[in-house]
Amino acid sequence: MTDKDLIKQIIPLWYSSYAWANELLVRVFLLDNANEILSTNYRGMHQIPGTNWFYRTHGVGVDIFKTPEVGGIDFDFGKATPDAWRLKIFFEKQYNDGQLPLLDYQGLADNEDRLEKAIEQALNEHRT
């Protein structure tokens, strides 16, 4: 399997994690919309009640994680499709969390240039 194909396999996972994160924020914090987490009351880094997850607000987005750089997803509200930078972060979070098969993805995890090239190729194909 090519590097591009490996990255193409995680794109659906990005979408499902994006939907999960939005739903989690709405249900836990009783919000009308997940982006309300950006209001002053919720700004900063906090544990998500009743879970082992944390969130950290930033600019127009939120990072949801188990520990820094492990698990979850980091995204900006209003951007329902991954860009290269966010997909790279997502890959690293999922890989560090053990959610991706080590043998398949280790080469990409160990070579940043190779990872970035594969992400660009996969996203270019995904957009068409």
Question: What's the confidence (pLDDT) of residue 100?
Answer: 97
pTM of the model: 0.93
Question: What's the confidence (pLDDT) of residue 126?
Answer: 78
Helices and strands of the chain, counted as H and E runs: 4, 4
- Helix ranges (H only) for the chain are 3-29, 84-96, 102-110, 112-127
Geometric angle at alpha carbon 16, from 11 and 20, rounded to 5°:
145
User: Mean pLDDT of residues grouped by 10 in the chain (128 residues)?
Assistant: 96 97 97 96 96 96 95 95 96 97 96 97 85
Q: In sequence order, what are the residues at sequence separation of 6 or more whose Cβ sits closer than 8 angstroms to the Cβ of residue 99?
A: 13, 71
